[in-house]
């Protein structure tokens, strides 16, 4: 009986040992699988952290220019990832922006003062500007626009090219410039330094003249809207280039030189009428002088002036003078005949 119990205990121990070996093998297998999976996941995370530093923006523009980072862009342009890029849209002379597309989406309404600001760049993109011809109606009005340009540091910008609606001028050493023959319309203002870099851009509107004095208002973006007077020929202003390249336009004034009133010519002035009347003479010379004065008076009348002498102002006096002269001559004749008869 004791032997049977021993054999039963031995078999129980063997079964337990077998179960323990299986459990141990299963645990080892799970541990190995878990370790390999952890290594694989770690390798996968390392691969996903590799991203490009720059993305490509395909730029297209005909009839104008697209400017970014002070450079005119055309074709493929590399832009830093996550950068919020500002694009300046500048039409050529006689052209206007018709539409702007970013990644195929119409973003024309987002253009402010000629600038479109794109969202943070996370992938390659496209930017296309479509320009159209401006109104071909001839405009008689043209204005000379002059002023001064200062940079972000407040100092004048010498040797810079100023473009207003396709008309250009150059600043002197003090930053002064004049752009001639600028027609009415909404114009992009660009400033390019001596190295060919576009350092500033803005917008200005010159309306058709409406009489009276020149008036200045601003649009929703703070850009000046100028309504010239009928006599306005020159406009002065100041251009201040900001750190972001946007031009602030201020101090807009009518700089048309004042017209000098011409003096009245001497021959058009009315001479003062003489209060003295020419006294009649009793001799023939006086009568002749009176007739000469009458002749002069007629000559002046033919020149368009009223008589200024007093000789012809009293015809009764002249009639009495003639009667007296006739009487004197008659009496003298009678006296001569009487003397002869004696």
CB 162 within 8 A of CB 187: no
The confidence score (pLDDT) of residue 285 equals: 41
Residue 187: CB atoms within 10 A of its CB come to 24
Q: Do 205 and 187 touch, CB atoms closer than 8 A?
A: yes
Q: pLDDT tens-digit profile of 149-169?
A: 999 999 999 999 999 988 899
State CA 254 to chain mean position distance: 13
Low-confidence ranges of the chain (pLDDT < 70): 1-6, 34-49, 135-140, 259-315, 337, 339-342
Domain residue ranges in the chain: 1-50, 54-133, 143-254, 279-330
Contact at 8 Å (CB) between 276 and 293? no
Burial of 53 (0-12, 13-18, 19+ CB in 10 A): exposed
Residue 41 has what pLDDT?
54
pLDDT at 16: 77
Buried b (16+ CB within 10 A) or exposed e, 129-158: bbbeebeeeeeeeebbbbbbbebeeeeebe
Instruction: Give the pLDDT confidence score for residue 253 in this predicted structure.
Output: 92
- pLDDT for residue 99: 92
Q: What's the confidence (pLDDT) of residue 27? A: 79
Measure the CA–CA gap between 265 and 331, rounded to whole angstroms: 55
| Burial class of 181 by CB neighbour count within 10 A (0 to 12, 13 to 18, 19+) | exposed
pLDDT at 273: 46
Q: What is the pLDDT of residues 53-71, one digit of tens each?
A: 899 999 999 888 898 887 8
What is the second-level CATH architecture of the domain 143-254?
A: Sandwich (2.60)
Query: DSSP per residue over 184-219, as a string?
Result: SEEEEEEEE-TTS-EEEEEEEEEPPP-SSS-EEEE-
């Amino acid at each position: 009986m004791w032997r049977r119990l021993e054999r039963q205990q031995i078999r129980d121990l063997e079964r337990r040992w077998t179960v323990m070996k299986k459990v141990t093998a299963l645990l080892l297998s799970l541990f190995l699988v878990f370790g390999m999976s952890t290594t694989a996941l770690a390798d996968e995370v390392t691969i996903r952290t590799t991203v490009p530093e720059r993305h490509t923006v395909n730029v297209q523009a005909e009839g104008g220019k697209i400017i970014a980072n002070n450079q005119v862009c055309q074709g493929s342009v590399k832009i830093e990832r996550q950068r919020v890029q500002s694009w300046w849209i500048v039409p050529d002379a006689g052209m206007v922006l018709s539409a702007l597309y970013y990644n195929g989406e119409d973003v024309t309404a987002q253009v402010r003062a000629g600038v479109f600001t794109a969202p943070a760049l996370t992938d390659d993109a496209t930017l296309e500007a479509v320009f159209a011809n401006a109104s071909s109606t001839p405009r008689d009005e043209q204005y000379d626009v002059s002023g001064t340009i200062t940079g972000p540091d407040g100092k004048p910008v010498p040797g810079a090219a100023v473009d207003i609606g396709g008309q250009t001028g150059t600043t002197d050493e003090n930053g002064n410039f004049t752009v001639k023959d600028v027609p009415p319309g909404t114009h992009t203002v660009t400033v390019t330094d001596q190295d060919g870099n576009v350092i500033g851009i803005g917008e200005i509107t010159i309306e058709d003249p409406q009489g009276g004095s020149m008036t200045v208002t601003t649009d929703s973006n703070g850009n000046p809207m100028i309504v010239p007077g009928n006599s306005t020929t020159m406009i002065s202003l100041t251009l201040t280039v900001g750190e972001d390249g946007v031009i602030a336009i201020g101090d807009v004034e009518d700089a048309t030189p004042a017209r000098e009133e011409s003096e009245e010519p001497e021959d058009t002035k009315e001479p003062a009428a003489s209060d003295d009347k020419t006294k009649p003479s009793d001799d023939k010379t006086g009568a002749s002088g009176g007739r000469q004065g009458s002749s002069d008076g007629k000559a002046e009348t033919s020149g368009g002036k009223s008589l200024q002498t007093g000789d012809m102002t009293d015809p009764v006096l002249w009639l009495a003078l003639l009667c007296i002269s006739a009487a004197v001559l008659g009496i003298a004749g009678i006296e001569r005949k009487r003397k002869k008869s004696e």
